[in-house]
A and B are shown apart, each in its own frame.
Chain A
């Protein structure tokens, strides 16, 4: 089965205990579906209700489709400056 790697940063990497997780990817998977799968991982209960997701280095919408070749990341609240 195809999989997709989701990069994790900062507080999200801490709560999920890894810098990335690999998840199964079925055709038609959206950003929202992926978040649903992430919620079943240990530690994921500490994530906010709707974490921001980036696809290919841009913020994504919840209905955006995901391909196996996409670069996916969960983006914790940013705090630059």
Chain B
């Protein structure tokens, strides 16, 4: 089983685990990313995710190809949510299955790291004080403006 989806509905990480699970595997690694309440010292009320969807789909497929090649996993499912997410909501989930734990763990790490570098998805943080800001991970954290 292999699949990557960008979607607007809630992500259920357990369903990804079930999807990749099989008796041939001895390990399933599951990474779940969630919306955090504080970023760079500012109180966050939610995050609005948007995507260049056709390219994000293509880039995710390329990442899955690379991950399969590198780690030999044959069960690999990724879901990334877009739209307005609240605190604690799941923004991304990755499940990788392999007969042994090391490739499964390495695979989820690789996939999330590559998503953060290459997949055209953006987030606009909504702050408790009513302001909003696009997040640019290439810039050093700026102190909150007055």
Q: B-contacting residues of A (Cβ < 8 Å)?
A: 7, 9-11, 14, 54, 57-59, 71, 73, 75-81
Contacts and interface: CB of A to CB of B under 8 A. Distances in A.
Contact of A81 (B50, B58, B115): B115
B71 interface: no
Kindly name the residue among A10, A58, A73 whose own CB sees the greatest number of chain B CB atoms within 10 A: A10
Closest 10 CB pairs between A and B? A80-B121, A10-B122, A57-B55, A11-B134, A57-B58, A79-B135, A77-B138, A77-B136, A79-B123, A81-B116
Interface residues of B, number: 30
Interface of B: 33, 49-52, 54-56, 58-59, 80, 91-92, 112, 115-124, 134-139
Contacts, number: 73
Contact of B136 (A11, A59, A71, A81): A11
Given A9-B120, A76-B134, 20 more contacts: A10-B122, A10-B124, A11-B122, A54-B55, A57-B55, A58-B55, A73-B52, A73-B55, A75-B55, A76-B122, A77-B139, A78-B116, A78-B117, A78-B121, A79-B121, A80-B92, A80-B119, A80-B121, A80-B122, A81-B116
